[in-house]
Amino acid sequence: MPLFDVVVVGLGAMGSAALYELSRRGFRAAGIERFSIAHDRGSSHGETRIIRLGYFEHPSYVPLLRRTYELWREFEAASERRLVRITGIVEIGPADGALVTGTLAASRMHDLPHEVLDTHDCMRRFPAFDLPPGYVGVFQPDGGYVAVEQTIETLIAMAQAAGAEVTTGVAVRSVTQHGQGVRVSAGSIDIEARAAIVTAGAWARDILPDLSAPIRATREVMAWFSPLDPTPFSRDRYPVFILESGHGMHYGFPLSRKGTLKIAKHHHRDETVFPDEPRRPPSANDEALIRAAIAEHIPKANGAMLAAKTCLYTMTPDHHFIVDRLPDAPNVIVASPCSGHGFKFAPVLGEILADLATDGATAHDIGRFRLGRFG
């Protein structure tokens, strides 16, 4: 008999959620992480991630978002820790831009609460912003942010309390179909299980060399600034935001308790990197890419940069997720790459992955995430 029902490879956002869900359901589950829990080498670090319902990427994500909101509340209740803060979110850009049109399409299709603000009303309500004529703000009251490292640490602790085994500092070499189950080769040992879930992000292809999806890792930069004037950044006047402008797409968070503003450029340079190569620290050029939008559109945030960090996006060509079985190894499930917008979905993807690994199917619609779409 295999030692485990399911082995989870990679314990970032998706892996830690899947491990918790499996252990919560009573399955013999093990998790393996090549680094430490809540490390800063991948995609799941940097203090905060946005959560929102009206999804400009595609309306089909909204049912999953509704479920993930429910599960975030359940996680908070089970852990007695506050992981989500609802601040509202304002998404700002040209009226015909991808951000505004996509958010409105999803909000209207799914009857989500939202307000549409013209340029004048947007700046009056959110005075930190300086916007040109023709820009529109879409405000969603249900938006906010999630605590990143705290979430992963909490999920792993709850999984272990429910019986999961966790191993860190060990790199998985391969995951293969083995008889009616799988074999996970990690370090100097082989582990047999009924199924495996690979949520290794940028390292997925190292572990699954025959993965058909054309994925790549990109280097991203997030930064923390000291505002020139903190007055317009009070929490009732400056929620989570996404801004589409001539400088690209930027996002940011309310003023922290330390008095800092986290702001970053989404798809910073579209610069492909390899996950194990030496990590290049943030540069003056990286700062300039972020600061250009701040200087023009959030001028009172344009103070000293106090800190900056790099992270990885693991991209698919269409920027949609991968959640599927391997065609030639049906007991191996791969999840992510999430193309830079996946953290908020961790609870529902954990539920989906547990379904696939133990029941063979899920009630959630994941048709958009199938590997077959790449041919």
54/112 Cα distance (integer angstroms): 7
Nearest to 245 by CA among 129, 126, 104: 129
The CA-based diameter of the chain, rounded to the nearest angstrom, is 67
CA distance 325 to 370: 8
**CA-only gyration radius of the chain, Å:** 21
**Active site amino acids:** 45, 48-49, 262, 267, 311, 344
Rounded distance, CA 355 to CA 375, Å? 25
Residue 7 one-letter amino acid: V
Q: How far apart are CA 128 and CA 111, in angstroms?
A: 29
In terms of DSSP H, where are the helices of the chain? 13-24, 62-79, 98-109, 119-125, 148-161, 204-207, 284-297, 346-358
Half-sphere exposure (Cβ direction) of 108: Cα atoms closer than 13 Å: 8
C-alpha distances in Å from residue 80, one per residue of 158, 169, 222: 11, 28, 29
Q: Are 7 and 176 in contact (CB under 8 A)?
A: no
Nearest-5° angle of CA 368, CA 12, CA 156?
120
Calpha distance 95→91 (Å, rounded): 11
The CA-atom distances, in angstroms, between 306 and each of 39, 221, 229, 263 are 21, 13, 15, 12
Q: Residue 148 in 3-state DSSP?
A: helix
